[in-house]
Amino acid sequence: MRVAIFIGSISDEEKMRPCSKVLDSLGIDHICTVTSAHRTPERTLRLIKECEADGCQVFICAAGLAAHLAGAVAARTVKPVIGVPLSSSGSALGGLDAMLATVQMPPGYPVATVALDGTGAKNAAWLAASILSLTDPELAGRIAAAREGFIKDVETAAAKLGKG
């Protein structure tokens, strides 16, 4: 296992599914499980230790509202932690609360914070892949190939408009 995805609630799974899809497309082993910084702090600590023992190199944590999961994980590991703030129907702030909670970490306990919801889920996977590619040249090649595909997609779309 190389990446662990922790979500604060089962209702977050749909928003984080794009993260797993990107990791799958790049051939990156990962798990996804539910744990809560507030409701199950002991479970969170146990999962961090188990994942590290299994070779986890990057943690991706997604949560809404107070969104302390990424910070709680960062407090217990020296591995990179990527936070995905999620919008929540229980919040009147439209995800701003989660964004601020995820991005405001004390010095020495960083959390790399990406965008909200699905876009953030995808970018968390891409960032995790970039981190892992530092020591995996084959993965770096797969990332480069995927980016070439993005370029071709734009060129194809431009050609369809006659602006090729």
**Closest to 136 (Cα-Cα) out of 55, 16, 21, 82:** 55
The structure's pTM equals 0.94
Structure confidence by residue, pLDDT tens digits, 28-74: 999 999 999 999 999 999 999 999 999 999 999 999 988 999 999 99
Q: What CATH code is carried by the domain that includes residue 112?
A: 3.40.50.1970
Together in a domain, 129 and 141: no
Higher pLDDT, 26 or 163: 26
Q: What is the pLDDT of residue 143?
A: 98
Counted residue by residue, the chain has a size of: 164
Helix/strand/coil for 12: helix
Together in a domain, 154 and 104: no
For the residues 14-18, what does the mean pLDDT come to?
A: 97
Per the structure, the count of domains in the chain is 2
Domain region containing 158: 137-164
Q: How confident is the model at residue 88 (pLDDT cuts 50, 70, 90)?
A: confident
The pLDDT of residue 114 is above 90: yes
Helix/strand/coil for 24: helix
Mean pLDDT across the chain, nearest whole number? 95
